[in-house]
Amino acid sequence: MSLEVKGCRELQSEVIARDLCTLCGACVGMCPYLVAYRGRIVALDECNLAQGRCYAFCPRTSLDLDLLSQTVFGVPYAADELGTVQEIVIARARDEGIRSKAQFGGTVTALASFALDQGLIDSAVLTASDEDMLPSGTAAANAAQILGCAGSNFAAAPTLAAFNRHSAGDAQSIGVVAIPCQALALANMRASPLENRNNIDKLKLVIGLFCTWALRYEGLARFLAQKVPLNRIVRFDIPPPPANLFQVFTDSTRIDIPLDDVRPFIRPACDVCIDMTAEFADISVGAAEGVRGWNTLIIRSHAGRELVEAARAKGIIETAPLPEQNLAHLKEASLLKKKRGLRKVIETSGSEDDLLYLKLTSEAVKGLLS
């Protein structure tokens, strides 16, 4: 597959119709044609352009990972377990209020608020859920709004639609909290060869989130509605293995659902994903397995390093070395996702020479699959 930029029609036939859409939202919010509606990207009318930003930005159309890595980090794509890494630590917010509200260590909330506070960004685009737990992107301009977005939803959200809309406005420096496919799309925006750009130059910070998969909202909502009215749900959680549970919290109760009951709602686009750790973010954050109340924090870019160091110096977060066996486990998990994703890609296309949306050398493929 070449790096040719095509248009909306091809986005629909090559990505959406083939169930490769991650619902990142990168194609939404720039034109009147594509909208996100309850977990789907919908084309309201046919756009007849041969080339479009929708196609160029999509993380499931031809991805030149080397080009993206050069654009974001100035180095070629690592093609290893974790991508470009400067340092890996465990971290948590110092503020207990944040920690109690957030999943795990509250690092994301603390760093995003800090970036706002420091004027590194003037607003942050994050994901929030409505009363029916339908997630969507939202722009936050203060710490309280950021804290309101804390916690995981697990249903895929078109967060980048909010980035596209928000960046078209008065905001000048924007941070985005992104799952891996969204971080990829943001890198795609930076690397886009199209003359007609969005306002990607306003993007100053990407905080990536580890992600193994995301769920289809419609399916999940229909399933959950049989158990509890959606508007009573406050948050979801997936406790660390071996629990194998999907937990649904209301104000007063917790409903434990076997994780296998929820798996059917995993978006097929996640099956072909090879990025667990948001390799194209400035920093990536996930749960630190086995270290309760802490996050794993991967510092990838210069900007990421500066932010983490300043936050550490000002006492916003605290960090500690990542235990050796945790690092090994993280790499193993990430590699496992890459292997699964690649195998699914090859199974779908029927050939090692056709990686659907990925552009990787055959050495890289061999290396990852070995």
In the bound complex, what is the minimum distance in angstroms from residue 38's beta carbon to another protein?
8
| Dihedral sign from CA coordinates of 256, 19, 124, 338 | positive
In the bound complex, what is the minimum distance in angstroms from residue 54's beta carbon to another protein?
8
Q: Do the bridges between strand 317-321 and strand 87-93 make them parallel or antiparallel, or are there none, so unpaired? A: antiparallel
Q: Do the bridges between strand 283-287 and strand 295-299 make them parallel or antiparallel, or are there none, so unpaired? A: antiparallel
In the bound complex, what is the minimum distance in angstroms from residue 370's beta carbon to another protein?
41
Query: Which positions lie near another protein, rule CB under 8 A?
Result: 30-33, 35, 37, 40, 42-49, 51-54, 194, 196
- Cβ pair 42, 65 in contact under 8 A: no
- Cβ pair 326, 288 in contact under 8 A: yes
In the bound complex, what is the minimum distance in angstroms from residue 93's beta carbon to another protein?
39
**CA 230 – CA 131 distance, rounded (Å):** 7
- Of 194 and 259, the one with the shorter C-beta distance to another protein is 194
Determine the 3-state secondary structure of 160 from DSSP: helix
- Of 196 and 362, the one with the shorter C-beta distance to another protein is 196
- Of 32 and 315, the one with the shorter C-beta distance to another protein is 32
The angle subtended at Cα 237 by Cα 267 and Cα 97, nearest 5°, is: 130
In the bound complex, what is the minimum distance in angstroms from residue 123's beta carbon to another protein?
22
In the bound complex, what is the minimum distance in angstroms from residue 193's beta carbon to another protein?
13
- Of 37 and 328, the one with the shorter C-beta distance to another protein is 37
DSSP 26-84: TTSSSSSSEEEETTEEEESS----SS-HHHHH-TTS-EEHHHHHHHHHSS----SSS-S
Q: Which helix (H) or strand (E) holds 175?
A: strand 174-178
- Of 22 and 326, the one with the shorter C-beta distance to another protein is 22
- Of 30 and 274, the one with the shorter C-beta distance to another protein is 30
Which tokens hold the place of 325? Answer: 């066996």
